[in-house]
Amino acid sequence: GAAELGPYRHYMQKEIFEQPRALADTLEGVEGISPELFGDGAYRVFKEVDRVLILACGTSSYAGMTAKYWLESIAGIPTSVEIASEYRYRDSVPDPKTLVVTITQSGETADTLAALKHARSLGMEHTLTICNVSTSAMVRECKLAYITRAGVEIGVASTKAFTTQLAGLYLLTLALALVRGRLSEKQEAAELKALRHLPVALQAVLALEPQIIAWSEDFARKENALFLGRGLHYPIALEGALKLKEISYIHAEAYPAGELKHGPLALVTDEMPVVTVAPNDALLEKLKSNLQEVRARGGQLYVFADSDTHIGSEPGVHVIRMPEHYGSLSPLLHVVPLQLLAYHTACARGTDVDKPRNLAKSVTVE
């Protein structure tokens, strides 16, 4: 009811603002990096596996796509990410030395549970879940688990569950890196420090809300939007587009920035805002030629720039600068303004933000 909402208009807004607390709770008690964070016997499993298969749906699958970048670059372990509803029905090549990782807020998503069982039926017994509900079917079904402490999430569009999943997946990456001899004590200390600073860093990002509200007024009048990201931030662009379509009903698509010229550029007109996520200076150089093309077509660019980039606002280019540069953990910060952009755009359009049409919080039937 209204009392629980406090100063917020919707649960989604409340949950976006709860993220510093949700992350602090999720990381509470993590004194050091160790496989045992994932349960008894995790060391033996982590020693045995030589690849990771991530299974999830919706927003949770974008957390998985982000983790693939971490797992390959930091832990050096080959990783694939599959949409659960696809994996469960396709012929794939099983490998018993795979760590099967499911990611699910609810722990009850029918397709993700079925995908897990399918993997097991193919002889893959090493199972781990990143889940927000400790009593869920998924936690019962998996041998290992990391329970995120986002708290109950009411808004259908997932926000705090996503950022806490990313934190859990980052811990998993570090634990696998440790077992594989790729994490020195010095690196471990630096990583823990960066993780512990996340709640404060997130608070600074939330303070960008007034600037994002100003942008949302432009977006509310559009029917389409394009989101661009590269590398670690490509899944964040996907998540930004998903949030916008789920709650504002604006058609949105995400592309890796380098693909703009291979198709979506044909869609750019003055009616198509182009959101770019996290360009560092290297990306900006490449982006500038795309930018000319976007602007030649009257397109408007909305850039969430890293703190140390040199791009400035000019006609046709709107820039919001992120407070801090955050290295590998940057996706946890960059997703937050995209959540706020979707939220305020939906508010401006007057949609039912917490219960968007046709969608359910958890999909427990196929």
Provide the binding-site residues for ligand G6P, judged by CB under 6 A: 57-60, 104-106, 109, 112, 156-158, 359, 361-363
The residue (of 57 and 74) whose beta carbon lies closer to ligand G6P is 57
* Cβ-contact 135, 14 below 8 angstroms: no
| Closest approach of ligand G6P to the CB of residue 67, in Å | 14
**361 among known catalytic residues:** yes
Cβ 35 to ligand G6P shortest distance, Å: 24
Residue number closest to ligand G6P, CB atom: 58
Which residue lies nearer to ligand G6P by CB, 246 or 306? Answer: 246
Q: Which is nearer to ligand G6P, 58 or 299 (CB)?
A: 58
DSSP 89-143: TS-----TTEEEEEEESSS--HHHHHHHHHHHHTT---EEEEES-TTSHHHHH-S
- How many whole angstroms separate alpha carbon 34 and alpha carbon 44? 12
Beta strands at 300-305 and 317-321: parallel, antiparallel or unpaired: parallel
Structure token digits, residue 265: 């550029």
Q: DSSP label at 151?
A: -
Q: Which C-beta is closer to ligand G6P: that of 98 or that of 158? A: 158
Q: Are residues 188 and 174 in contact, defined by beta-carbon separation less than 8 angstroms?
A: yes
Which one from 143, 245, 355, 361 is the annotated catalytic residue?
Answer: 361
Nearer to ligand G6P, 305 or 332 (CB): 332
As measured in angstroms, the least distance from the Cβ of 242 to ligand G6P is 8
CB 31 within 8 A of CB 193: no
* Sign (positive or negative) of CA dihedral 309, 310, 316, 321: positive
DSSP structure class, residue 362: S
Closest distance of CB 107 from ligand G6P, Å: 7
Closest CB 160 distance from ligand G6P, rounded Å = 11
Q: Which residues are catalytic?
A: 361
